[in-house]
Amino acid sequence: MDLDRQIRPLDMEVGDLVEQVRTTPPPSDPREADELSLFLDRHQDEPIALTGFDGEQLPVSPEVRQVLAQAALALREGRAVSVLSIAQRFTLRQAGALLGLDRTALLDLVADGEIPVGPDGRIALSDLAAHHERRRVAYLAHLEEVARQALKNAS
């Protein structure tokens, strides 16, 4: 059963980022999700297509395949799945709120060339995701270095 609902913005700065959420509870019989998850794993390096009962085929893009794989895995684990649609380009205020940064910190990142701003004065979701991933990798490297130093000092 699909439980559709419009998101009511909790934060006025980012409220217009989320356009709609669709939530689906896990199936009562998880075998279907198991089969889909295993199928996607077996065919992860080759193109796949959806086929209707009438034989019509529709190729599945890598992006759609990723959504299907993540959803199938969650359903397989007995979790509900929510798919939310969000904008692809953000104002500086929205981007800062999404990253948890104030305007000054975001402007510093823009000035340093860490996050590009388009000619429309907006920041692409892909650029925010890339920045977030770079920060995550740097943080993990820092934690590894701290752990190494702690082990060295303990011996």
Confidence (pLDDT) at 6 = 30
Provide the β-strand partners of residue 49.
59
Instruction: Classify 65 in phi/psi space as left (phi over 0), alpha (psi -120 to 50) or beta.
Output: alpha
Confidence (pLDDT) at 3 = 31
The strand ranges marked E within the chain are 3-5, 18-24, 48-51, 57-60, 81-86, 89-90, 123-124
Q: Does pTM surpass 0.75?
A: no
Distance CA 146, CA 148 (A): 5
Give pLDDT tens digits for 3-50. Answer: 333 323 334 444 555 566 778 888 888 888 899 989 998 988 899 999
Confidence (pLDDT) at 86 = 77
In sign, the C-alpha dihedral spanning 72, 73, 77, 82 is negative
Closest listed residue to residue 20, CA positions, set 43, 32, 2 = 2
Confidence (pLDDT) at 15 = 52
**Mean pLDDT, to the nearest integer, of 85-106?**
87
Residue 58 has pLDDT above 70, yes or no: yes
User: Would you list the domain boundaries of the chain?
Assistant: 3-86, 89-154
Residue 72: strand, helix, or coil: helix
Distance CA 102, CA 99 (A): 9
Confidence (pLDDT) at 59 = 95
Confidence (pLDDT) at 8 = 31
pLDDT over 90 for what percent of the chain? 49
Q: Residue 107: which pLDDT band, with cuts at 50, 70 and 90? A: very high
